[in-house]
């Protein structure tokens, strides 16, 4: 039987208590030994500390090695052929993962195996950026981060370490931020139908589910906290994706309330509830501070007063947000009640207790939804006192809610957080009222009435809740989480097939890298060579090093034809023009050396040479063909920039029969190629 984990302070208390019990004659020495045998010993705890220190240092070393590999790739040695670079990175990925697999399977150094696998995942990510650099790939760069995360996830699920989970969460957070903040203008089709949604990085929701299940099955609040923080970050970004930043404070507060609901659905004292409670409190508490100010509501009223037709527009937005919040609350609450009945014998007292604990977070979410409606419906500045009072009551309620959790679970942190939030509320209201029209007398009366209210509430709780808490502590036993069979079976299969999953993941990473190479190399091998006139500028990419942005003549001519040619007004009104595929026919330039843009359209030309691109929201390059970046060795990009004004730079392009273009090299007018 494996020994149960225990903290050092708990073990010291247990050993001292057992000694006292033996002295008092309550237990015999063999009974004390059997009790101690159920828990980790002092030697086990010391060994765990040494292993943790070793793992931490090894992980830091792997991180430094990975960063050094990225910097070496970013330097981009021109003396090294492209084929050699690609071969080196493929061999590096295979060898690093092979060593990690060997150490894991043989069990010789399990901690070192985890660090080596982490280094292999860094090598895999470096390979993605190296391929993009080697083929001068100028594509939707968040996709590289997404594929990197996809290759890391299986290792995170089959290894008993947080290292790969941390890397996966960081990569997904970066990817979500890039997609939503940088590319929020893109639209995605819903189930390949006519409906289109904003670019909200929705695949993140599916990819975090395995990690959350892993965290619950391993009993790791830290792992659960990583994924809850990732989901919280994704939720905070959604108002940006949907273009409702002005209502973001209501949305963020509602998400915090939903997290509080989930935390209260856990058993009393369950450590898995802490991540949800922490994120929920941070979001809700932060959003209530501005909402509790009368000046905030007056500012919103004044901002919308000068627009005559804004009520209908914003009312629909507010209705969507508030209604969605209510629907989510109903669905989450119903699901939690269903899970509660499946976790043990149906118990009316357990159900009543759950509903009692859910009362405040549900009320908080409904209050935020109501204030979201109010922010648009109300046009009378005097009526703004109502949501201001609601927000202040919500702040007091959140403070009391945290204090009650601390008392109920005998935990200092939520208790202290409740006290701290109450002090924040008191200070904010003091300065708010003192600087307002009421002055000191109004502030004094306000605090006096609040003090009376808290005293009355304390007396009420003391009379009505004392027996309830005593009954709860005796009747409500903690029930371990038991997932449904469709979750337990895959989790057990993963645990029993670690070697197979690691081998399959290594092969998948190599296939992804190899597939990228093949896709990029085919046009170079079979494509027709053409020459285009370019105008470069020089930036730097943190992963791929120095590169030259190529502004082609066909970019400008095709964009001018698309935006200002015949039918331009209709095209401007086309909602789906952004990110649409654009086809540009190519015609010989009068100089006899280059090709120039001919006709531009959304349909593939029947005959003749053409190049395929996409329409973007970039004002400098509205139409891009994926050949706008040329990667060079560090410090050499400026040399190419000097040729820009004299128009001495051309690009040699490999053009496939289906219009896909790949950049071969840059040509200087004197015949030198790069």
Rg of the chain taking only CA atoms, in angstroms: 31
State the pLDDT confidence band at 260, using cuts at 50, 70 and 90.
Answer: very high
> Which of 442, 336, 665 lies closest to 532, judged by CA?
665
DSSP assignment of 625-669 equals -S--EEE--TT-HHHHHTTTTTT-EEEEEEE-TTS-EEEEEEEET
Residue 145, CA distances (Å) to 136, 149, 180, 204, 279 in order: 17, 6, 14, 12, 25
**pLDDT, tens digit, for every residue of 25-68?**
888 888 888 887 887 777 776 666 666 666 566 667 766 766 66
Q: State the pLDDT at residue 304.
A: 60
**pLDDT, tens digit, for every residue of 210-258?**
999 899 888 889 999 999 999 999 999 988 888 778 788 888 998 899 8
Angle at 608 between CA 605 and CA 612, to 5 degrees: 55
Highest mean pLDDT among 144-158, 382-396, 614-628: 144-158
DSSP assignment of 507-576 equals HHHHHHHHHHHHHHHHHHHHSEEEEEEEEEE--EETTTEEEEEEEEHHHHHHHHHHHHSTTHHHHHT-TT
Cα(640)–Cα(122) distance, integer angstroms: 32
> Which of 653, 658, 646, 656 lies closest to 673, judged by CA?
653
User: 250, exposed or middle or buried, with CB in 10 Å at 0-12, 13-18, 19+?
Assistant: buried
**pLDDT, tens digit, for every residue of 490-545?**
777 777 888 888 889 999 999 998 988 888 888 888 888 888 877 655 454 544 55
Residue 208, CA distances (Å) to 18, 124, 204, 400, 412 in order: 44, 21, 6, 32, 31
Percent of the chain with pLDDT over 70: 69
Q: State the pLDDT at residue 573.
A: 42
Q: State the pLDDT at residue 122.
A: 87
Q: State the pLDDT at residue 345.
A: 46
Q: Would you kindly state where each structural domain of the chain is located, as residue ranges?
A: 8-40, 527-668
Q: State the pLDDT at residue 498.
A: 82
Helix (H) or strand (E) holding 198: strand 196-198
* Mean pLDDT, the chain, whole residue set: 76
Q: State the pLDDT at residue 278.
A: 95
Q: State the pLDDT at residue 478.
A: 40
State the pLDDT confidence band at 172, using cuts at 50, 70 and 90.
Answer: very high
Q: State the pLDDT at residue 463.
A: 57
Q: State the pLDDT at residue 482.
A: 45
SS3 sequence of 234-270: HHHHHHHHCCCHHHHHHHHHHHHHHHHHHHHHCCCCC
Q: State the pLDDT at residue 649.
A: 75
**pLDDT, tens digit, for every residue of 645-674?**
555 678 888 888 888 888 888 887 665 555
State the pLDDT confidence band at 276, using cuts at 50, 70 and 90.
Answer: very high
**pLDDT, tens digit, for every residue of 413-446?**
888 888 889 888 887 877 776 555 456 666 677 6
φ, ψ at 315 (rounded to 5°): -60, -40
DSSP assignment of 401-417 equals HHHHHHHHHT-HHHHHH
Q: Which two tokens stand for residue 440?
A: 């000191």
Highest mean pLDDT among 27-41, 281-295, 481-495, 570-584: 281-295
Please state the pTM of the whole predicted model: 0.79
Q: Are the beta carbons of 71 and 91 closer than 8 angstroms?
A: no
Q: Which two tokens stand for residue 662?
A: 């790949």
pLDDT at 313 over 70: no
């Amino acid at each position: 039987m494996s020994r149960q984990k225990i903290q050092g302070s708990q073990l010291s208390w247990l050993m001292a208590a057992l000694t006292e019990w033996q002295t008092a004659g309550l237990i015999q020495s063999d009974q004390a030994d059997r009790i101690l045998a159920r828990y980790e010993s002092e030697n086990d705890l010391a060994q765990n500390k040494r292993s943790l220190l070793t793992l931490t240092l090894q992980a830091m070393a792997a991180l430094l090695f990975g960063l050094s590999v990225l910097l070496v790739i970013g330097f981009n040695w021109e003396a090294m052929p492209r084929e050699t670079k690609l071969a080196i990175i493929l061999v590096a990925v295979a060898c690093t993962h092979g060593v990690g697999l060997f150490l894991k399977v043989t069990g010789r150094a399990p901690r070192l195996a985890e660090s080596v696998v982490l280094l292999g995942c860094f090598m895999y990510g470096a390979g993605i950026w190296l391929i993009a650099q080697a083929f001068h790939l100028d594509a939707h760069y968040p996709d590289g981060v997404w594929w990197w995360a996809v290759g890391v996830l299986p290792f995170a699920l089959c290894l008993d370490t947080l290292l790969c989970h941390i890397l996966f969460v960081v990569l997904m957070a970066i990817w979500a931020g890039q997609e939503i903040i940088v590319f929020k203008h893109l639209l995605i089709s819903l189930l390949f139908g006519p409906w289109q949604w904003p670019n909200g990085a929705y695949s993140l929701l599916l990819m975090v589910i395995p990690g959350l299940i892993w965290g619950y099955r391993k009993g790791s609040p830290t792992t659960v906290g990583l994924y809850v923080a990732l989901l919280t970050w994704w939720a905070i970004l959604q108002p940006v994706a949907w273009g409702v930043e002005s209502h973001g404070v209501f949305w963020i507060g509602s998400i915090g309330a939903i997290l509080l609901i989930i935390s209260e659905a856990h058993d009393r004292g369950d450590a898995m509830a802490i991540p949800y409670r922490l994120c929920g409190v941070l979001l809700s508490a932060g959003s209530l501070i501005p909402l509790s100010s009368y000046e905030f509501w007056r500012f919103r009223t004044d901002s919308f007063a000068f627009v005559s037709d804004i009520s209908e527009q914003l009312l629909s937005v507010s209705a969507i947000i508030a209604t969605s919040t209510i629907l989510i609350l109903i669905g989450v609450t119903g699901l939690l009640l269903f899970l509660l009945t499946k976790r043990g014998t149906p118990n009316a007292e357990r159900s009543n207790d759950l509903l009692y604990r859910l009362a405040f977070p549900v009320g908080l979410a409904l209050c935020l939804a109501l204030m979201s409606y109010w922010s648009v419906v109300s046009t009378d500045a005097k009526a703004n006192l109502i949501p201001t009072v609601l927000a202040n009551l919500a702040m007091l309620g959140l403070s009391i809610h945290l204090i009650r959790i601390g008392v109920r679970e005998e935990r200092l942190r939520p208790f202290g957080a409740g006290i701290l939030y109450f002090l924040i509320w008191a200070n904010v209201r003091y300065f708010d009222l003192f600087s307002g029209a009421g002055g000191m007398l109004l502030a004094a009366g306000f605090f006096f009435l609040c003090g009376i209210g808290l005293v009355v509430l304390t007396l009420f709780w003391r009379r009505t809740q004392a027996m309830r808490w005593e009954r709860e502590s005796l009747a409500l036993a903690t029930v371990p989480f038991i997932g449904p069979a469709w979750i337990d079976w895959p989790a057990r299969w993963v645990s029993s097939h670690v070697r197979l999953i690691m081998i399959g993941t290594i092969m998948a990473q190599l296939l992804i890298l190899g597939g990228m190479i093949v896709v990029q190399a085919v046009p170079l091998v079979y494509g027709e060579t053409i020459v285009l006139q370019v105008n470069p500028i020089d930036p730097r990419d943190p992963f791929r090093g120095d590169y030259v942005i190529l502004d082609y003549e066909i970019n400008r001519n095709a964009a001018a034809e698309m935006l200002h040619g015949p039918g331009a007004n209709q095209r401007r009104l086309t909602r789906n023009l952004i990110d649409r595929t654009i086809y540009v026919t190519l015609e010989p330039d009068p100089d006899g050396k280059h090709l120039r843009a001919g006709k531009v359209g959304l349909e593939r030309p029947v005959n003749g040479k053409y190049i395929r691109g996409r329409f973007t929201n970039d004002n400098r390059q509205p139409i891009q063909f994926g050949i706008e970046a040329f990667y060079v060795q560090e410090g050499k990009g400026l040399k190419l920039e000097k040729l820009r004004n004299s128009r001495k730079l051309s690009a040699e392009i490999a053009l496939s029969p289906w219009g896909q273009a790949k950049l071969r090299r840059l040509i200087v007018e004197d015949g030198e190629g790069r």
